[in-house]
Amino acid sequence: METLTYFINDLYAELEEKLGETSYQTLENKTVKSVTYQDATISGSLLKDMVYEDVIFENCTFFGTQIENSLFINCMFINCKFKFSRFTDCNFEQTTWENCIWGMSSMKDSDIAGNDIKDNLAFESQGTGSHTITCLAEFLTLSA
């Protein structure tokens, strides 16, 4: 499984000298266009004020990642896992979530209306070792 280093290096290989203060744990004010990420793990990162357009995330794991104030246009999340991650103040336009699993993750103050959500599950701990399973559409609507 690939790591955030792969994600960053692939995206910014040609712009390395222009990254300035950006580290592998934090990405801010960047645009990602027409890229496919497969089997990547994005862990413990802050992705803030980003724009993603025509980006496909396939079999990716977002672990302990915060995505804030970002825009997703015509993106796809296919077979992705979201564990202990949080989307805050994000907008999704024509975005698809297919067969994704959300565990102890949330989406707050984000616009998900009009997106395609298929065969997803959300797992939430109740502190007793048991979990509840809900449809992602219901989960996202309640947490947005």
| pLDDT bracket for residue 14 (50, 70, 90) | very low
Q: What is the mean pLDDT of the chain?
A: 77
β-pairing, 121-125 with 131-135? Answer: antiparallel
Mean pLDDT of 93-106: 90
Query: Could you tell me which of 39, 34, 44, 107 has the C-alpha nearest to residue 75?
Result: 34
pLDDT at 139 exceeding the cut of 90: no
Cβ count within 10 A of residue 8:
20
According to the model, what pLDDT value does residue 20 have?
A: 43
Using DSSP's 3-state secondary structure scheme, residue 137 falls into helix
User: Structure pTM?
Assistant: 0.72
Which residues are CB-neighbours of 82 under 8 A, at least 6 positions away?
Answer: 62, 100, 101, 102, 103, 105
Token match 């357009």: residue? 53
Give residue-wise pLDDT tens across range 17-29.
444 444 457 889 9
pLDDT at 1 exceeding the cut of 50: no
Give residue-wise pLDDT tens across range 41-86.
888 889 999 999 999 999 999 999 999 999 999 999 999 999 999 9
| pLDDT bracket for residue 140 (50, 70, 90) | low
Query: Could you tell me which of 128, 10, 7, 126 has the C-alpha nearest to residue 63?
Result: 7
Lowest mean pLDDT, pick from 2-11, 41-50, 99-108, 119-128: 2-11
Give me the DSSP letters along 5-39: HHHHHHHHGGGGGG-TT--SSEEES-EEES-EEES
